[in-house]
Amino acid sequence: MRALSWRRLGGAASAVAVTAAVVAAVAEAVAATVVGEVAAGPTSALVGVLAVLLLGSAVLDTAGRVLFSTVVSRAEGRLRADLLDAALGQPLPRLEDQAVGELLDRVDDDSRQLAQLFRRIGWETGRALLRSVLAWIVAGLVFWPAWIAFPLVAGLIVLVARPLTGVIARAKVAEEVAWSDHSAQLEEAIAGQDDVRTSLGQPHVIAGSAARAAEVLRRVQVVSLTATTVGLRTGFVAHALLGVVAVGGVWLVAGDPGGVAALVSLWILVTAFVSQVDAIVDRMPDIQAGVGALTRVASLLRAEQEPAGGRPVPSGPAGVRLRGLTAGYDGGFRLGGIDLDVPAGTTCALLGRTGSGKSTVAKVLSRAVEPDRGQVFVGGQDVRDTGLDDLRRAVGVVTQRTEILAASLAENVALHDPAVPRSAIERAVSALGLDEWVAALPDGLDTRLGSGGVTLSAGEEQLVAFARLLVRDVAVVVLDEATARMDPRTEMRVTRASRALLADRTGIVVAHRLSTIRRADAVAVLEDGRLLQHGARERLAVEPGRYADLLAADRDDDGGTGGEVLGHVAHGGGHTATATATRPGATATLETPLLHRSARRTVTAEQGPRPPALWRTVLRLAFAHKRWGLTGGLMFTLATLAGATGVVTGWLWGLVAESLQSGAAPWGPALGLTGVLLLFPLWIAVAFRTYPRWWSAVTLRLRLAVLRGQTMQHHSGRAPAGEVVARALDSDRMVLYVDRWVDVTNAVLVVVVAGLVSGDVRAALVIGGFLALCAAVAALGAPFAGRAGRVAADARARFGTALGSALESVRTVKLAAATGAVRAHLGRVDAHRVRATVREYRVRTLLEGVPGLLMQAAVVLTWSVYLTGGWTLATALLLSTALGGAGFLGQVCAAAVTEAPIARRWLRAVAPFAGPADLTRLPDGVDLVSGAAPEPEPAPREPLRRLSLEKVTAVHHDGTVGVEGVDLDIDAGALVLLTGEVGSGKSSLLAGLAGLVAHEGVIRWNGRAVSDPQRFLRPGQVAYVGQVPRVLSGTFGENVALGHRRPVAAAVDDARLGRDVEAAGGPDAVVGHRGIRLSGGQVQRLAMARALATGAELIVADDVSSALDVRTEIELWAALRRRGGTVVGASTKRAALARADRVVVLERGRVADEGPWSELAARWSHLAG
């Protein structure tokens, strides 16, 4: 990986750009002496030379900047590639400790911020330093004391500023950490929006965002205060030099008009020197931001990486041997010294209660958890000596939680590996019986999956995971609850398809459902991280012990069916829950397709709220946080008017020079000029103290609006979390555009003041005409800039989607040794982004260079008019000085035009994510400064007597009909479970009952039609637990209560989580990122505790016992029974179905049968395991 140094910007293009900048700076410095000669005695030849020097300087500077922007844009892409390599190269446990939003911020936003720093601030700062040195050299030739004065002032500036540079750097790093924490929470809440919405958790995530925003602003304040001190110290020193020139010039030149030329030249050179110092000080906040980003980038590049090198896995059958295994997690669960042998070609099942260590044992085989040396052997070789990718290519892993990339189905199966031929993917799909299902997808194998594409059920996702395994050649197969969300027939079909793969291969199967392990050769039972029992499965089944006890409990739950899972299968012909219509003669076989063609609706994109007008958004943001925004803006106005190149400064200096030329001694104007100059540091200090806080607060406000829109109850459409976060992080485009209009306001004031102080309307017309011409030229270039900006913003969003998806799926990617393939795919996506960025900044830099050229032309025009006697020396000097400062104002006037399409595009892209919420307004009661946010209001409750479904059809956002024509009546207090094969519509119906999926037909609550399901079907009426619930970073208690005053302890106990919480340190123990890792069963029970704590009338639970062992599952259902609430859930486990009051069988998206499981088991036993 390349070092982080200036060499990243090296090359021929950089050399040409720097050469152009040097020649431009020399020409500008020489032009200062020419201006002095013109002031003393104007001639056409001198004005001609001045024109060549100034216009040539502007052209060369623009050419250099265009070249340099291209260099930086390409270097940004290379840096992002290195950051991506560093991020993906980290050990898996370390990656899992980092939130996706944090990594997005560090890989994407930090590289972009650094590029912005070098592209604009770096060029400007380098040019300022260069021009300062040239100004010193030329000034020394004009007036010899300058040889001493310039270095003395520069040394003093360094002396007073240097003690604080380290403080600023440390404070800025702390600020960047706070920004990353804020970004991580943003992504986490958006990715978990279903859990947040169905638990009424929006106030909780808004409060979390507000608290993190307050921390960001506190750290911004620390940086701003330090920058203020630097600005005061350096500003007083630099502007004192200008004051010395003004007063000393009067003292030296008074009565000697011949010295005016040298004094004017010296003034221009000293002004150039001081203005460059001012420019550097003005850019301190941006430089600090870059320093912070640079520090964080360097830390990521130095992040611990997975070990490279190692020996290949020995060829031939690979057995597994564990010796005294004590692997685990820092500060958390650890295994207690496990010894286990799994001979090559055999399969061992790992059993035990949830949290007993089964998954930890499975993880060490692929070094997802790093074991100590000498504890784990695969193929007779210590895994610590085996190359990591070699090991992971040899050990195929399928887990209960399958991660789906935002990519096509084929790309998901191959994980972007070009070495996997399409024919292999087609064979895997066919072996799993998915041909009909794939054919029904909009684009077959090329159908996009994941957020923003076709939605899959958890069972369908597990089938995709098995397809991934079937296209690989592995030596060891690890199935960690890999079929937990499948019905037994689907499981058997998958097992049969995998049988050829498992032939002569070693298998490790982690399971709670005992039917899953019926083909295992051996069984190992774990408890609290220790091996309790191990031996041949058939022997342990008849010997007293834990495995025999589990079998007995399973038989009791099954009513003695003995776990037969496939036989004659009745296909229902009826479609209501009150009539059972079956065809007893129909038979389901392993040849029957698993997933069937789903009906689809043509989806008309819902018309979202109209995006707000750009001008209104700019106005509202400009007046947001008035104390900071208006104060900072006013101070920048004063600094613009009375800085080294300000209109007031130019007017006073013109009076001084004109008086000296006439032989007078203008002490009054000179002292007034000095006073104005010494006030400048005070104004800029106040601006530094306030304006960065406004900028940050407005940025946080826009991000909060997106978070609020994504977690509000009325939520239309669904976009990938990575895309939403990428757009939100791109809010700088809008904030920068608002800042442009602050500067445009300053430009208008400069024109007005120029006319007033000069007493000559032509002076105002020159400056105003220059600014208007800048805007007019920009208008011509706006379509090109807008198009380039839109393409670049869209490319960034696409990369954010791909990167977010890859980071969400990083466990799957790394364990499949697919990091290289996914990394290459991300590189291809980013290459398009780099090309778009290069084009965007070429166009923008070229357009930004036009105001500089026009400004120099206006300076030449000013002295040409003076040559013809059109105005006085005072007016000429006023304009010459003011135009020097107006060059920046010309750029912002142009940018206000060219960036309008870009800002408008961002606004239109983000407004739908914010929903009807106003992007510019904070929610009631939220204060980003203090971090205050209102507590959630108690949820209204309507006791349930009967829930009725009449011809209910659930339609997903992509038009897929999950289930249709459902008629069902559920009385209060009932436990009703849905069962059916994978893809039968269980999850769709339950999501419809929770208001997460749109429905047709009627849902009645106590006989009254539910007209607003996204509001009514929430606590206290309905609480929802998804198949794959989300854990938010925070404590156990915070995850259960989500900011509400809810009975956490009772809910935790009823969810059978109390023992786990106590073992972790109590309800205040932190879980999630940087906290305790939870097993799949613990996550499910935590989500169940969250739902129970709401006290909702109806619990909708989608297969929440799939990751639980038999005993825990029995305890959970018994606890739910004791609570007496109403539960509608989904399950394919006999233990759950046997305890239900009614079981509803779904087949091909319709109700096929219903009744107690004791009556249904004879016909539908193949659905339960």
Number of H helices, E strands in the chain: 40, 24
The larger pLDDT score, comparing residue 798 to residue 1080, is at 798
Q: What pLDDT score was predicted for residue 796?
A: 87
Share of the chain above pLDDT 90, in %: 33
pLDDT-based confidence at residue 256 (cuts at 50, 70, 90): low
Specify the CATH superfamily of domain 141-298+614-914: ABC transporter type 1, transmembrane domain (1.20.1560.10)
DSSP-derived 3-state class of residue 1104: coil
Separation between Cα atoms, residue 303 and residue 284, nearest integer Å: 28
pLDDT in tens, 934-951: 999 888 899 999 999 999
Residue 572 has pLDDT above 50, yes or no: no
Residue 1003 has pLDDT above 90, yes or no: yes
Q: Which of 591-595, 724-728, 1095-1099 has the lowest mean pLDDT?
A: 591-595
Q: What pLDDT score was predicted for residue 457?
A: 74
Q: What pLDDT score was predicted for residue 568?
A: 31
Separation between Cα atoms, residue 78 and residue 279, nearest integer Å: 29
pLDDT-based confidence at residue 386 (cuts at 50, 70, 90): very high
Q: What pLDDT score was predicted for residue 555?
A: 65
pLDDT-based confidence at residue 410 (cuts at 50, 70, 90): very high
The larger pLDDT score, comparing residue 585 to residue 760, is at 760
What ranges do the domains of the chain cover? 141-298+614-914, 337-528, 946-1167
**Other beta carbons less than 10 A from residue 503's beta carbon:** 8
pLDDT in tens, 729-788: 888 889 999 999 999 999 999 999 999 988 889 889 999 999 999 889 888 888 888 889
pLDDT in tens, 513-533: 777 787 788 999 998 889 989
CATH number of 946-1167: 3.40.50.300
Instruction: Tell me the H-state helices in 422-575.
Output: 422-431, 435-440, 458-470, 488-502, 537-542, 546-558
Q: What pLDDT score was predicted for residue 566?
A: 33
Residue 590 has pLDDT above 50, yes or no: no
Separation between Cα atoms, residue 748 and residue 746, nearest integer Å: 5
Residue 332 has pLDDT above 90, yes or no: no
Share of the chain above pLDDT 70, in %: 91
337-528 topology per CATH: Rossmann fold (3.40.50)
Mean pLDDT value across residues 459-468: 83
The larger pLDDT score, comparing residue 488 to residue 803, is at 803
pLDDT-based confidence at residue 268 (cuts at 50, 70, 90): confident
Q: Which of 283-292, 420-429, 888-897 has the lowest mean pLDDT?
A: 283-292
The single-letter DSSP state of residue 763 is: H
Separation between Cα atoms, residue 54 and residue 30, nearest integer Å: 9
Mean pLDDT value across residues 299-316: 88
Residue 339 has pLDDT above 90, yes or no: yes
Q: What pLDDT score was predicted for residue 1146?
A: 92
Separation between Cα atoms, residue 820 and residue 839, nearest integer Å: 28
Q: What pLDDT score was predicted for residue 622?
A: 93
| Residues 571 and 1147: beta-carbon distance below 8 Å | yes
The larger pLDDT score, comparing residue 1110 to residue 690, is at 690
The larger pLDDT score, comparing residue 353 to residue 743, is at 743
pLDDT-based confidence at residue 586 (cuts at 50, 70, 90): very low
Contacting residues for 1141 by C-beta, under 8 A, at least 6 apart: 974, 975, 976, 1156
Q: What pLDDT score was predicted for residue 296?
A: 78
Do 337-528 and 946-1167 come out as alike in CATH topology? yes
Residue 561 has pLDDT above 50, yes or no: no
The larger pLDDT score, comparing residue 731 to residue 1136, is at 731
Residue 687 has pLDDT above 50, yes or no: yes
Q: What pLDDT score was predicted for residue 282?
A: 65
Q: What pLDDT score was predicted for residue 203?
A: 94
Mean pLDDT value across residues 419-430: 90
Q: What pLDDT score was predicted for residue 560?
A: 46
DSSP-derived 3-state class of residue 1071: strand
The reply to whether omega before 890 is within 30° of 0 (cis) is: no
Residue 107 has pLDDT above 70, yes or no: yes
pLDDT in tens, 1026-1082: 887 888 888 999 999 999 999 999 999 988 888 888 888 888 888 876 667 777 778
Contacting residues for 303 by C-beta, under 8 A, at least 6 apart: 86, 87, 89, 90, 94
What does pLDDT average to over the chain? 84
Its pTM stands at 0.78
Residue 593 has pLDDT above 80, yes or no: no
Residues 390, 393, 399, 401, CA torsion sign: positive
Mean pLDDT value across residues 960-984: 89
Q: What pLDDT score was predicted for residue 472?
A: 86
Residue 536 has pLDDT above 80, yes or no: yes
| Residues 185 and 101: beta-carbon distance below 8 Å | yes
Q: What pLDDT score was predicted for residue 570?
A: 31
Block residue for tokens 């310039």: 150
Q: Residues 390, 472, 511, 343: what is their CA dihedral angle, to the nearest 10 degrees?
A: -60
Separation between Cα atoms, residue 252 and residue 1039, nearest integer Å: 76
Tokens, residue 841: 């900044």
pLDDT in tens, 916-933: 778 889 999 999 999 999
Q: What pLDDT score was predicted for residue 1006?
A: 95
The larger pLDDT score, comparing residue 893 to residue 161, is at 893
Mean pLDDT value across residues 585-608: 55
The larger pLDDT score, comparing residue 1089 to residue 494, is at 1089
Q: Which of 337, 346, 388 is nearest to 365 (CA)?
A: 388
